[in-house]
Structure 1
Amino acid sequence: MADATPASLAARVRDGEIRFHELEEHADADTAAAARRRLVAETADADVDALGEYAFDAADAHGSNIENMVGAVQVPMGVAGPVAVDGGALSGERYLPMATTEGALVASINRGCSVVNDAGGATARVTKSGMTRAPVFRVADVAEAEALVSWVRDNEETLREAAESTTSHGELLEVTPYVVGNNVYLRFRYDTKDAMGMNMVTIATREACDAIEDATDASLVALSGNLCSDKKPAAINAVEGRGRSVSADVEIPREVVEERLHTTPEAIAEINTRKNLVGSAKAGGLGFNAHVANAVAAMFLATGQDEAQVVEGANAITTAEATPDGDLYCSVSLASLEVGTVGGGTKLPTQAAGLDILGVRGGGDPAGSNGDALAEAIAVGALAGELSLLAALGSRHLSSAHADLGR
């Protein structure tokens, strides 16, 4: 291994002596990545040298965050704020870290944060927590399906003991059965504390499934039956929630709306109704919002979250109304925001820095409080983004902002 070089390793792969994915067995992780860059560059006739500039330990990333590593992609990171947050777990002024390549996004959310501050800050609360995994079982008929449902309801403590034997942190909260003919789906919901928890609940649910198969005639078909539902648009997540359900709101005085956003509370309320509510309903949308995914995706990338779960994170409803006093009330409610402050990509140094900016890296005290705080911060960022975009539409400044900043 000491004599291995990128060139010699690449030659051995070409000659068939070692496989592309086995390079870390023959050299350190950085050398293995460099060898892969050589091979990819030759095959694709591409300049990939820029991928070799990264600030994390390749050995730490290999196997836990990435396979067949060739390097890293850099995404510009900015901050919006600081914005004042009155949260159940997050209080005070915070900068919001955002990684994106979309010009005008951070500027827009920053404008929203400034207006939120002029109104005295935003309020945010996590209203429900629980990561889910829903295996599907095959049974003989609906009678056997009902028998399995009854067994599950009578033996939830048995399932809890089996599931929690695999984790020192996760807690099984409930198991909800769903029957479709000779298919039985069991939606397990867990408190995963400060972890996003997908791996945790998958391992725990497998143990519970073994207990079900030992005690009943049901046969496990798939550990995930898509009723979870992970990384896909799903109404069940909009209704029942997944990860954290979190809401943020603010009441903005009329004069602030007029002076800072160049529109009126009534105009913003009408745009929200006709665009976010009626327009989304006509489109058959699950998310009734303007661009919540923008804030979610940018903060996910900046803090090491699973970027594919932006699908569920965008499952949000924005409301806006003129108050009896003529001010503007605006809220954003994200039904299924799946976030964590430990594990996964949160261990990488630049992503850990993003969590440090918010003051939420690592496990919270009490457990789960840092995950709640991150969810509240993202909700406030989404709220600021919704306000800014709705106001831009109301003042007809959207296209000019993108012309100036987003090209």
Structure 2
Amino acid sequence: MTTADDLADRVRDGELRIHELEAHADHDTAAEARRLVVERETGVDLETIADYGFPAETAEPNIENMIGAAQVPMGVVGPATVDGGAADGEYYLPLATTEGALLASVNRGLSVIDAAGGATARVTKNGMTRAPVFRVDGVAEAAETVEWVEKNLETLREAAEATTSHGELLGVEPYVVGDSVYLRFAYDTKDAMGMNMATIATGEACAVVERETPASLVALSGNLCSDKKPAAINAVEGRGRSVTADVVIPGDLVEDRLHTTAEAIVEANTRKNLTGSAKAGALGFNAHAANVVAAAFLATGQDEAQVVEGANTITTMDARPNDDGGHDLYAAVSLASLEVGTVGGGTKLPTQAEALEILGLQGGGDPAGSNADALAEVIAVGTLAGELSLLGALSSRHLASAHEELGR
């Protein structure tokens, strides 16, 4: 039987390369061998990295050259009371992070939302995008290509959907820049985040475009998608799921729980999240939406790099007159491009699957897409709670003391 020591020696002697080990042993032995190679080269003991709680084989689709696992502390907040289009009821939201005070802050916000009767959330738009770029000789050929695409959407839909049993092509938006033609394909990918699905389907559609028009494909992704980068097109048009959550909090509850007033929170939101963000040239107009999005992504197996798009959030606050002569607080978050799924990718890893099971959203929903919609709505409510808590702390001037009290 091949041992980890044997494999490590063969790597050291140049007989094997570090990515070839699974061809000679099971996945856990291969991971152990890589650790031995790294330990011998660096002198670092990898005992903790080696202490992972799932068979390495289960991670094969998710990583190459595995040596172990990065363990991020995971907590839970809630319950989050959600009246959603797909989510309905109380949810405990798992969050994984190394930032102290984050979960305490989100939990405080959720307790206020719960006391106010819960939050409303809706997915308002859904479409995972992939935008290839084509080369043409000039404007005339660009116009010819665009005209063909607009007249032959069904042909492109047939080619794209032949690659998937679940995805649906929603539309194709053309953009012309000189002798470049960009086609922004948008798909309903149901409960999958769907990036791979959209890429494969678009590849087939591109072959049809090349065959029927003067355009030549340069790159399957032309960055007008736009994936894992700050981009105004995602803030405007959306990508993945566009989701909004809101709540009305009675003025006396704002004072009792957040130790401030509706008017003070509105002013802090306007001067910080709106005016301050505009002056900074930001795409996200929020306090720290990415904090909750990132922690939820890590816990539930989402593509962590897509936190960039998840930070495309606008936080809205308004003081509404009430019958007592004071003001209630209207609070909302609108996440333009939240890319989440409950099947595929990292959602299949044991830890992340368990986190989704806590939410009752692991796997495909009935109807298809409903689990991913519900996950987006719960994350939006968690994000709203985080915004409420932080703006409350800022407007009451308790932010520094709260961190000091928690020792963070």
Calculate the TM-score normalised by the size of structure 1. 0.98
Which amino acid is 1:317 matched to? Answer: I
3-state DSSP of counterpart to 1:48: coil
Is 1:154 the counterpart of 2:155? The answer is no
3-state DSSP of counterpart to 1:361: coil
Give unmatched runs, 5+ long, in structure 2: none
**1:61-97 CA distance string (max 9 Å, x none):** 12x0000000001111101111211000001111111
Distance 1:163 1:123 in 2: 35
Which residue pairs with 2:22 in the alignment?
24
Provide closer, same or farther for how the CA distance between residues 297 and 406 of structure 1 changes in structure 2, counting only shifts above 3 A.
farther
The residue correspondences of 1:298-377 to structure 2 (distance < 5 A) are: 298-325=295-322, 326-377=327-378
Which residue pairs with 2:251 in the alignment?
254
Q: Does the CA-based 8 Å contact 1:102-1:406 persist in structure 2?
A: no
Q: Does the CA-based 8 Å contact 1:269-1:321 persist in structure 2?
A: yes
Q: 1:269 aligns with which of 266, 269, 273?
A: 266
Distance 1:243 1:122 in 2: 22
Give unmatched runs, 5+ long, in structure 1: none
Calculate the TM-score normalised by the size of structure 2. 0.98
Q: Does the CA-based 8 Å contact 2:113-2:385 persist in structure 1?
A: yes
3-state DSSP of counterpart to 2:209: helix
Which residue pairs with 2:42 in the alignment?
44
Q: Does the CA-based 8 Å contact 1:132-1:242 persist in structure 2?
A: yes
Which residue pairs with 2:198 in the alignment?
201
Distance 1:178 1:217 in 2: 16
Which residue pairs with 1:114 in the alignment?
111
**1:335-379 CA distance string (max 9 Å, x none):** 000000000000011101111111111000000000000000100
**1:267-318 CA distance string (max 9 Å, x none):** 0000000000000000000000000000000000110000000000010000
Which residue pairs with 2:77 in the alignment?
80
Q: Does the CA-based 8 Å contact 1:127-1:244 persist in structure 2?
A: yes
Distance 2:64 2:134 in 1: 32
Q: Does the CA-based 8 Å contact 2:77-2:94 persist in structure 1?
A: yes
Distance 2:233 2:45 in 1: 45
Q: 2:98 aligns with which of 88, 91, 101?
A: 101
3-state DSSP of counterpart to 2:321: coil
Which residue pairs with 1:395 in the alignment?
396
Distance 1:290 1:170 in 2: 34
Q: 2:33 aligns with which of 35, 38, 54?
A: 35
3-state DSSP of counterpart to 1:323: strand
Distance 2:19 2:170 in 1: 40
Question: C-alpha displacement at 1:324, in angstroms?
Answer: 2.1
Question: C-alpha displacement at 1:211, in angstroms?
Answer: 0.5
Distance 2:144 2:175 in 1: 13
Distance 1:346 1:404 in 2: 35
Which residue pairs with 1:386 in the alignment?
387
Question: Which 10-residue stretch deviates more, 321-330 or 282-291?
Answer: 321-330
Which amino acid is 1:36 matched to? Answer: R
Which residue pairs with 2:160 in the alignment?
163
Which amino acid is 1:246 matched to? Answer: V
Q: Does the CA-based 8 Å contact 1:86-1:124 persist in structure 2?
A: yes
3-state DSSP of counterpart to 1:83: strand
Question: C-alpha displacement at 1:406, in angstroms?
Answer: 5.1
Distance 1:71 1:274 in 2: 45
Distance 1:58 1:44 in 2: 23
The residue correspondences of 1:1-20 to structure 2 (distance < 5 A) are: 3-20=1-18
Which amino acid is 1:351 matched to? Answer: Q
Question: C-alpha displacement at 1:259, in angstroms?
Answer: 0.5
Q: Does the CA-based 8 Å contact 1:37-1:49 persist in structure 2?
A: no
Distance 1:116 1:42 in 2: 53
Which amino acid is 2:374 matched to? Answer: A
Which residue pairs with 1:296 in the alignment?
293
Q: Does the CA-based 8 Å contact 2:80-2:378 persist in structure 1?
A: no
Q: Does the CA-based 8 Å contact 2:86-2:374 persist in structure 1?
A: yes
3-state DSSP of counterpart to 1:346: helix
Question: C-alpha displacement at 1:405, in angstroms?
Answer: 2.3
Structural RMSD (CA): 0.7
Is 1:60 the counterpart of 2:61? The answer is no
Which residue pairs with 1:230 in the alignment?
227
Distance 1:93 1:12 in 2: 54
Q: Which runs of 4+ in 1 moved over 2 A?
A: 404-407
Which residue pairs with 1:137 in the alignment?
134
Distance 2:248 2:213 in 1: 54
Distance 1:107 1:72 in 2: 26
3-state DSSP of counterpart to 1:89: coil
